Structure 1
Amino acid sequence: MTLKTGIYVDAENIRLCGGYGMRYDVLVDLANRGGSSMLRANCYLAENGERTKEDRDYRLKLYRYHNILRQCGFKVIKKYVKHFVDDEGILTTKANADMDLAIDALLQARKLDKIILLTGDGDFIRLVQALQNMGCRVEVIAFNNVSSDLKEEADSFLSGFLIPGLLPIQQDGGRWYRGIPINYNSDRGFGFMRYYSMQAHGLHAESVFFHCSKSSVSSDGLFLDSDNIFEFKIVANPENNNKTEAMDIRSIDEIQP
């Protein structure tokens, strides 16, 4: 049985919380694996209407981005930025598409089996519950500043950093991977990195040995928290019978601007 899948992207939340530069084609590829077939793909984003009219470079860059999303199979739903002056005379802007996303997802979920929701915003907890009550499996993907309650409410949560190719790694020679530490022995300074590869059936979890001496992190205590994400290379260690190990380990929190 093929699962009919819908993707709903809260683009502003993703952009502001570590997902700038996300590859939408990789997201579509993921949705079409593991016995699933993408039926709907919606992206909700903000547009500054005034700037679009006045700034040609902004307009061309924005519309080029929109066209890329459409070529990937996404419907682009725009929310125009509104400007408000509060009682203290401070100008604020707002372009919240949460309601649009929630209504569309609820209406379209009638013909879906699985929903991939990209946001870290805890305001979507009730939406997740409503979709689950309609019989849909809800999988959440996000990057930084993710609501812990949203993670718990979803049928599954996965950091977007861990999905191969979704957010390209800045390469400086060799192939890099992203993973999380598991079973770290602080007394002996070793553990394993869990990372994912893209297979025909979907994401496949794998693990590789590491030693803290092969890292540049500020404290090996970071390896005790499986919420911390690291980048590393996987190489054969001639000093250990050419067994594969994680090398050049670096924390993404310490390299991100």
Structure 2
Amino acid sequence: MPIDPREKIVLFIDGANLYATSKAIGVDIDYRRLLAEFNAKAYLLRANYYTALVEDQEYSSIRPLIDWLDYNGFTVVTKPAKEFTDAAGRRKIKGNMDIELCVDALELAPYYDHMVLFSGDGDFTALVAALQRKGKRVTVVSTLTTSTPMIADDLRRQADFFIDVADLAKSVGRPPSTRPVVAPAAVPVVDDETDPD
């Protein structure tokens, strides 16, 4: 892994993007092992997880994960998802945390040396370039192993280093959960940036 043990590192996890990526390659991320993996590599200053939440649902399938992360070393950043009706009259829910992630990454920049970004979203290319101008190193974690890459080419080119989730899954992955779904969400939250460009 391209991390110097003397560095202060931060993890910025685009929750919707990492979920889509890990689902596409058929693994679940073990977040306890993920935190331990990066803690062992360098001084882990912070691990932020970003996701939008549907507020009006009686049961949210992501709530147990959010609660676990919140109690186990992650800083969880959420906002309510927005509900709308598309042109075909279908109910859609949109949740995009890109701005929150960018603002936090830039505000924390004086305190870290290396950012590890878990996302393939090309909208983060400008953030990566801005951090590099500030002397920061940036590793992007996504995948190229799917039939359509989950990472935007410009983001991968801009990053100092790239780690494929498929490779990282060897140390922090587990087989997909086979637990029964208690109550499926009526409408999934869709990050409008699941397309890497």
CA contact (8 A) 2:51 2:97 kept: yes
What does residue 64 of structure 1 align with? 64
User: Cα distance, 1:131 vs. partner?
Assistant: 0.9
Shift of 1:49: 0.6
Indicate the RMSD between aligned Cα atoms, in angstroms.
2.0
2: CA distance, partners of 1:42 / 1:120? 16
Question: What's 2:76 paired with?
Answer: 76
Residue 159 of structure 2: aligned partner: 154
Counterpart-to-counterpart distance in 1, 2:51 and 2:97: 7
Q: Secondary structure at the match of 1:44?
A: strand
- Give the Å deviation of 1:62: 3.5
Structure 1, gaps ≥5 residues long: 171-257
Give the deviation of 1:90 after TM superposition: 4.1
Residue of structure 1 in register with 2:48 after alignment: 42
1:94 aligns with 2:100: no
Matched, 1:165 2:185: no
Q: Is the 8 A contact 1:6 1:116 kept in 2?
A: yes
- Read off the aligned partner of 2:73 and give its amino acid letter: G
Contiguous gaps of at least 5 residues in structure 2 = 177-197
Identity %: 31
For 2:46, give the aligned amino acid.
Answer: R
Do the aligned residues in 1 keep the contact of 2:22 with 2:165 (CA within 8 Å)?
A: no
Structure 1 segments of 4+ aligned residues over 4 angstroms from their partners:
none
Residue 22 (structure 1) aligned to one of 13, 18, 29:
29
2:164 corresponds to which letter in structure 1? S
| Residue 11 of structure 1, aligned match among 15, 38, 41 | 15
Shift of 1:86: 4.4
Q: How many residues align?
A: 163
User: 2: distance between equivalents of 1:66 and 1:93?
Assistant: 18
Query: Which secondary structure does the structure 2 equivalent of 1:6 belong to?
Result: strand
Higher relative contact order (CA 8 A, sep 6+): 2
Rg larger in structure: 1
Q: Is the 8 A contact 1:23 1:165 kept in 2?
A: no
CA distance in 2, matches of 1:116, 1:25: 16
Separation (CA, whole Å) in 1 of partners of 2:100 and 2:121: 15
> Deviations along 1:199-229, whole A, 9 cap, x unmatched?
xxxxxxxxxxxxxxxxxxxxxxxxxxxxxxx
Q: 2: distance between equivalents of 1:63 and 1:94?
A: 17
Query: How much does 1:111 deviate?
Result: 0.6
Which amino acid letter does the alignment assign opposite residue 148 of structure 1?
D
Cα distance between partner residues in 2 of 1:124 and 1:73: 24
Q: Which amino acid aligns with 1:48?
A: V
SS at match of 2:125: helix
What TM-score do the two structures reach when normalised by structure 1?
Answer: 0.58
Query: Residues of 2 paired with 1:134 and 1:24: CA distance?
Result: 29
If the length of structure 2 is used for normalisation, what is the TM-score? Answer: 0.75
Counterpart contact for 1:24–1:72, Cα < 8 Å: no
Kindly indicate whether the alpha-carbon contact (under 8 Å) linking 2:28 and 2:173 is maintained by their aligned counterparts in 1.
Answer: yes
| Structure-1 separation of matches of 2:159 and 2:165 | 15
Residue by residue over 1:63-112, the C-alpha shift from the partner in whole angstroms, topping out at 9 and shown as x without a partner, is 32122212331011112111123455443321100000000001011110
